[in-house]
Structure 1
Amino acid sequence: MNSIGANDGTAPARRVLLVDDSVDAAEALSMLLETLGHEVRTMHDGTSALAIVDEFRPEVVILDIGLPGMDGFALARELRKLPSTRDALLIALTGYGGDEDRLRARAAGFDHHLVKPVAFADLEDLIARSFGPDRTRNV
């Protein structure tokens, strides 16, 4: 494990779409993911995110739930309908951590539900494990 996260250089880089209306939080997480080699696109609302998925074809989508306009639940449902993101790893990264929120996340198509703040090493480890032979997905 390196000092930034769990990726010791053996986990392949992924195309990551990060959607969070907090510009500062999104920028910080984006920079951390890029230091590990991931190609990251950052959007701040659901409509903008949907506009780029066919071209970008993200393998991982990290979504805040409390987005303006289209919330993260609705965005996840839309992403699951599209061929370019139907099989993407969807991770909710949110301040909403109640049991009802987790149930709604599962119903919307999220693979994992993480509550802010999350340790960056835990997020990177989750991404790496989700593409390995022991692929685990659970909300």
Structure 2
Amino acid sequence: MNLTPRLPLSVLVVEDQHDCAQSTAELLTMCGHAVRVATCGPDALRDAAVEIPDVVLLDIQLPGPSGWEVASRLRERAGGRQPLVVAVTGCGSEEDRWRSADAGIDLHLVKPVAPADLIRLLDWVGGHLAARTVPTTACG
């Protein structure tokens, strides 16, 4: 497992289960990402308003507003720069996936998500963000 990311990302982990949130944050920090944790929807919205993250890993079953509500509000608030919003949830039905898509969630992953898969996903995102920032030169 490669613990060196292509591009360090700002990641907001939104998870109400403390152990799960902390282990995910520790893993991603070891991979070089800047990680913040929110344990409820209002905290997630407040944190994202202070600094828009590159990626939001969002549980759906949160106390207070659901992850779907949080995703909808994030989409409304983010303006021009939008984070990649990934549901990381136990909600795995087809209806749950449709609700995620309707709320503006980009990817719906069902728990448990293998750490290596999460790292590969963030490496992929980092690679795409890095490609956008690399200047191109004209041949001629």
**Common fold, TM-score beyond 0.5?**
yes
Aligned to 2:104: 109
Unmatched 5+ stretches in structure 1: 134-139
1-structure distance, mates of 2:19, 2:76: 30
Secondary structure class of the residue paired with 1:132: helix
> TM (normalized to structure 1)?
0.86
- Alignment-mate amino acid for residue 96 of structure 2: D
- Which structure has the greater CA radius of gyration? 2
1:83 CA drift (Å): 2.5
Aligned to 2:77: 82
2-structure distance, mates of 1:47, 1:122: 28
What does residue range 115-130 of structure 1 map to in structure 2 within 5 Å? Answer: 115-130=110-125
1:126 CA drift (Å): 1.4
> Which of 25, 34, 39 is matched with 2:34 structurally?
39
Question: Is 1:98 aligned to residue 65 of structure 2?
Answer: no
> TM (normalized to structure 2)?
0.85
1:131 CA drift (Å): 4.3
1-structure distance, mates of 2:70, 2:5: 31
Identify the structure with the greater helix proportion: 2
2-structure distance, mates of 1:123, 1:24: 17
Aligned to 1:16: 11
Question: Is 1:30 aligned to residue 25 of structure 2?
Answer: yes
1-structure distance, mates of 2:41, 2:55: 15
1-structure distance, mates of 2:5, 2:15: 28
Unmatched 5+ stretches in structure 2: 129-140
For the aligned residue pairs, the C-alpha RMSD in angstroms reads 1.8
1:132 CA drift (Å): 3.4
| Identity %, equivalent residues | 43
